[in-house]
């Protein structure tokens, strides 16, 4: 087993020399074997260990298990601590999922406290096989069926290619004590049924090397998913247009192969909702169908108050229903903040008296102006008939600019404009006027930036 762990550490570059690794140790056979094997390899790879035991407070033996883990770690000369969870966390939702999420937060917090770079967990090859089968029963794509990853962000799993039987032999050979959670042997949860009943039967009647087979399958799917996701991210960057709190996907994005376009939809949904996991397979298919066959003006409601509108040139993703009410005119606070109601945007303005010491980058959502040439009384409002902006020495209609940039009709009425008198100075997210540009002789700079709040 030790050689398998050594090979996995090297293959995935799991730990760099000098790093501190937080090891999650429950006291069970897997985590004890993980800690002991990493301890034996720590000198060879040049890393340090710190043990964290999470006391869920759910079983009578929890306190004894915590004390056992601390003794075991300290006998190895490894620092250890016990973190306790509030039992109130488990009053609602899935016990296993709640516990897993709570442990993850504790491990991340411990990394911040100790300066640890990695979190080592004791998932093994049998856990991988159980996960693949469990997700197969519930349904999932390559991402889900890829199971547990050897490395994901800070988390590493050095035992992922070690079978449970190998772990048991290692513990026996090394004469290592461990604790057993009796709940793992109760066929109450789906995972326990898979572990205790299904896998043994499948191994006996169909494939004696089932665990290895499912592990290889998971790795193939992980590699495929990594490629598809990378392609989706690349195309998302190329096609997706940010319009304040909203995002526009041109219809060309939906001409891509479905495995790519569906992932792009998930990426955009995640940008708005904060987490793509709320979007199910059926939701994605409805978005794709609307893009390909829906009528312009149609709307689709998704989870987390996300809505998708079919436009002439693309699909507009937004949070909540879009309002057609034009923005009311309001003065800009200089310096200070000016909130744009309904759009969850804020315009921040500051005056820089000595521009030589302030490198001020200009982008689509930020500009710099010569304040003395601009003058006071800047205002924010929605567009009005006849609005024009000075670009490259000539005036252009704002309406034409919206059309050229393919801004959806629904957004044109609520797009904020920065104006002085009746002249448009800036269309945030699109372009600025030639008026009041910063020159070598500028003495006072007005910096403006629009962002979400």
- Under DSSP, is residue 73 helix (H, G, I), strand (E, B) or coil? helix
The CA-atom distances, in angstroms, between 311 and each of 161, 408, 415, 436 are: 49, 6, 16, 35
Give the pair of three-digit tokens for residue 220.
Answer: 């193939």
Distance in angstroms (rounded) separating the CA atoms of residues 437 and 369 = 5
Q: How many CB atoms lie within 10 A of CB 28?
A: 18
- Could you tell me the domains of the chain? 2-221 (3.40.50.620), 240-319 (3.30.465.60), 330-452 (3.50.40.10)
- What does the DSSP 8-state code read for residue 194? I
DSSP string for 95-116: HHHHHHHHHHHHHHHHHHHHT-
Q: How many residues in the chain?
A: 453
Distance in angstroms (rounded) separating the CA atoms of residues 453 and 70 = 45
Distance in angstroms (rounded) separating the CA atoms of residues 160 and 131 = 12
Q: H or E stretch including 266?
A: helix 258-273
Given phi > 0 = left and psi -120 to 50 = alpha, else beta, which region is 244? left
The residues near 328 (Cβ < 8 Å, ≥ 6 apart) are 341, 381, 382
Angle between helices 210-239 and 258-273 (to 10 degrees): 70
Instruction: Identify which of 117, 163, 102 has the alpha carbon closest to the alpha carbon of residue 13.
Output: 117
DSSP-derived pairing of the beta strands 151-152 and 394-397: unpaired
Residue at token pair 């190329």: 238
Give the pair of three-digit tokens for residue 225.
Answer: 């998913």
Given phi > 0 = left and psi -120 to 50 = alpha, else beta, which region is 74? alpha
Distance in angstroms (rounded) separating the CA atoms of residues 311 and 308 = 9
Give the pair of three-digit tokens for residue 47.
Answer: 């890393």
Distance in angstroms (rounded) separating the CA atoms of residues 273 and 326 = 25
DSSP-derived pairing of the beta strands 79-84 and 48-55: parallel
Tens-digit pLDDT profile for the chain (453 aa)? 999 999 999 999 999 999 999 999 999 999 999 999 999 999 999 999 999 999 887 777 888 999 999 999 999 999 999 998 876 665 555 667 777 888 899 999 999 999 999 999 999 999 999 999 999 998 888 999 999 999 999 999 999 999 999 999 999 999 999 998 766 766 767 888 999 999 999 999 999 999 999 999 999 999 999 999 999 999 999 999 887 678 999 999 999 999 999 999 999 999 998 888 889 999 999 999 999 998 888 899 999 999 999 988 899 998 877 665 667 889 999 999 999 876 778 999 998 887 666 556 677 789 999 998 887 789 999 888 899 999 998 999 999 988 888 787 777 877 889 999 889 999 998 889 999 998 888 888 999 998 877
Number of Cα atoms under 13 Å in the Cβ half of residue 253: 30
Distance in angstroms (rounded) separating the CA atoms of residues 233 and 256 = 13
Query: Which pLDDT value is given to residue 348?
Result: 93
Query: Which pLDDT value is given to residue 222?
Result: 97
Distance in angstroms (rounded) separating the CA atoms of residues 376 and 332 = 9
Residue at token pair 């799993």: 157
Distance in angstroms (rounded) separating the CA atoms of residues 188 and 355 = 68
Instruction: Identify which of 385, 374, 372 has the alpha carbon closest to the alpha carbon of residue 419.
Output: 374
Angle between helices 281-293 and 258-273 (to 10 degrees): 110
């Amino acid at each position: 087993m030790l050689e398998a762990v050594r090979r996995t550490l090297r293959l995935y570059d799991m730990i760099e020399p000098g790093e501190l690794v937080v090891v999650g140790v429950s006291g069970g056979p897997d985590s004890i074997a993980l800690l002991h094997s990493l301890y034996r390899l720590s000198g060879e790879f040049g890393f340090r260990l710190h043990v964290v035991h999470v006391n869920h407070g759910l079983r009578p033996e929890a306190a004894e298990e915590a004390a056992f883990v601390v003794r075991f770690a300290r006998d190895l000369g490894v620092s250890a601590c016990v973190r306790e969870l509030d039992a109130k966390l488990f009053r609602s939702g899935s016990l296993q999922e709640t516990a897993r999420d709570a442990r993850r937060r504790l491990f991340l917090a411990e990394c911040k406290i100790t300066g640890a770079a990695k979190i080592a967990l004791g998932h093994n090859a049998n856990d991988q096989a159980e996960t693949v089968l469990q997700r197969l029963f519930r349904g999932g794509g390559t991402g889900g069926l890829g199971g547990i990853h050897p490395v994901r962000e800070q988390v590493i799993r050095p035992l992922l290619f070690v079978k449970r039987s190998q772990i048991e032999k290692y513990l026996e050979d090394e004469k290592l004590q461990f604790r057993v959670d009796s709940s793992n042997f109760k066929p109450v949860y789906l995972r326990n049924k898979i572990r205790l009943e299904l896998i043994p039967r499948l191994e006996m009647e169909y494939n004696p090397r089932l665990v290895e087979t499912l592990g290889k399958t998971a790795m193939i799917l992980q590699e495929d998913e990594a490629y598809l996701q990378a392609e989706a991210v690349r195309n998302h960057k190329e096609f997706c247009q940010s319009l304040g709190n909203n995002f526009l996907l041109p219809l060309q994005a939906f001409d891509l192969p479905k495995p790519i376009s569906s992932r792009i939809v998930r990426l955009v949904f995640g940008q708005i909702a904060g987490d793509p996991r709320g979007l199910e397979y059926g939701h994605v298919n409805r978005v794709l169908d609307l893009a390909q066959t829906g009528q312009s003006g149609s709307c689709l409601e998704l989870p987390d108050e996300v809505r998708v509108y079919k436009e002439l040139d693309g699909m507009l993703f937004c949070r909540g229903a879009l309002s057609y009410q034009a923005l009311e005119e309001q003065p800009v606070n200089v310096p200070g903040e000016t909130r744009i109601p309904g759009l969850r945007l804020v315009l921040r303005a500051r005056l820089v008296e000595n521009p030589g010491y302030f490198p001020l980058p200009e982008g689509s959502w930020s500009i710099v102006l010569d304040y003395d040439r601009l003058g006071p009384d800047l205002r924010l409002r929605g567009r009005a008939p006849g609005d024009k902006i000075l670009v490259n020495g000539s005036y252009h209609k704002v309406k034409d600019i919206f059309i050229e940039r393919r801004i959806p009709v629904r957004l044109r009425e609520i797009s904020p404009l920065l104006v002085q008198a009746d002249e448009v100075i800036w269309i945030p997210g699109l372009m600025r006027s030639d008026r009041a540009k910063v020159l070598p002789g500028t003495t006072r700079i007005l910096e403006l930036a629009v962002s979400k709040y």
